[in-house]
A = this chain, B = another copy of it.
Amino acid sequence: MYNFRTDLAVERHDIYRKANKIENKIDGIDVEEQAIDDKLKVTRVKVTNENGEQAIGKPIGSYITVDVKDLKMADEEDIQKSAEILSKELVPLLDKHIDKQGEILVVGLGNLYVTPDSLGPKVINDIDVTRHLIKYVPQYVEEGTRMVSAVSPGVLGTTGIETMEILKGIVENVHPKLVIVIDALASRSIERISSTIQLSDTGIVPGAGVGNSRKEISQRTLGIPVIAMGIPTVVESAVLVNDCLDLFITKLQTQAKSNDYLNKLKEQDNYEEIKEALVPNDYNMIVTPKEIDDLIENMSSIVARGINMSL
């Protein structure tokens, strides 16, 4: 499979079309865009058959992307509006898999102490949990309230334990009917960093966004439906340079200043070579907007509110 270096279905779709010079619709992939206002956009990518699956390397299913523009400058109202749009997309996805009272476990992946990886744990801190109230003080809870619990299992590097091992243990003891997982994703666009949410019901491979792939979290591995909310939080620096080289050669070509070698080079994926050249041995370089702390803060408000509204 082509290495897209992005987990966003919408970006993969674009890259695939460009790389294969496809102008029409790809068989097996439906794309639908909806501009909510000048700040909010929803894109729905549906992978409908195996051809679509192979094209963009994503399992059959729905991939909904909510893009929030200028999130770093967002005020209270923008955040509330974005949370509402998110909730509007999340609710039908939940309804598809469980009934209105089905117990839900919300899982925030990531490392609280590494800013671009802290979104998951931050969201968990703001989820309105109800499970303990329903169990211990049912008299204070409105009838029909859904049981909600929330955990932030940490990351392999600081726990020594695979996230899946922790989650499996919790699911076996708590018996939720569905899991919502929040995680960092890889993206190819700086503008999407902490400004985009991808919703899907096909599971997640945690840590993919920060270059440490771990065991898949999905219905297949957990035994219950898994809804993933992925947020791009970094772009790898080798991806950035690779994209830039391509831009650069394209420019040479349009000016008729390229040559055979360069033309061929552009056809290849030079990611691995660039990575080797660029990255000092042990460093894990990332490209991030300077405003990442504010972006993470605002995005975690949107995700937490969006989930709370939906449950």
Contacts and interface: CB of A to CB of B under 8 A. Distances in A.
A168 B166 contact: no
Interface of A: 70, 76, 80, 112-117, 124-125, 129-133, 147-154, 156-162, 165-166, 168-174, 190-191, 210-211, 234, 237, 240-241, 244-245, 247-248, 252, 255, 257, 259, 261-262, 274, 277-280, 282-294
A108 B153 CA distance: 12
Contact of A287 (B165, B166, B259, B287): B287
B261 A257 contact: yes
A147 to B, nearest CB: 7
A115 B292 contact: yes
A154 B147 CA distance: 18
Contacts of A173: 165-166, 168-169
Nearest to A241: B244
Contacts of A166: 151, 169-170, 173-174
A60 B231 CA distance: 49
A306 to B, nearest CB: 13
A113 to B, nearest CB: 6
A303 to B, nearest CB: 15
A123 B186 CA distance: 30
A289 B288 CA distance: 10
A158 B150 contact: yes
B190 A161 contact: no
A132 B113 contact: no
7 contacts: A129-B157, A129-B160, A149-B161, A240-B240, A245-B248, A286-B289, A287-B287
A153 B156 contact: no
A151 B169 CA distance: 13
A133 B130 CA distance: 37
A132 B147 contact: no
A154 B107 CA distance: 12
A165 B147 CA distance: 16
A245 B225 CA distance: 46
Nearest to A280: B191
Contacts of A168: 169, 173
A247 to B, nearest CB: 6
Given A132-B156, A169-B171, 12 more contacts: A114-B290, A114-B292, A151-B161, A168-B173, A169-B170, A169-B174, A252-B262, A284-B291, A285-B289, A285-B290, A286-B287, A287-B287
A117 to B, nearest CB: 8
A144 B119 CA distance: 37
A153 B153 CA distance: 7
A190 B129 contact: no
A102 to B, nearest CB: 15
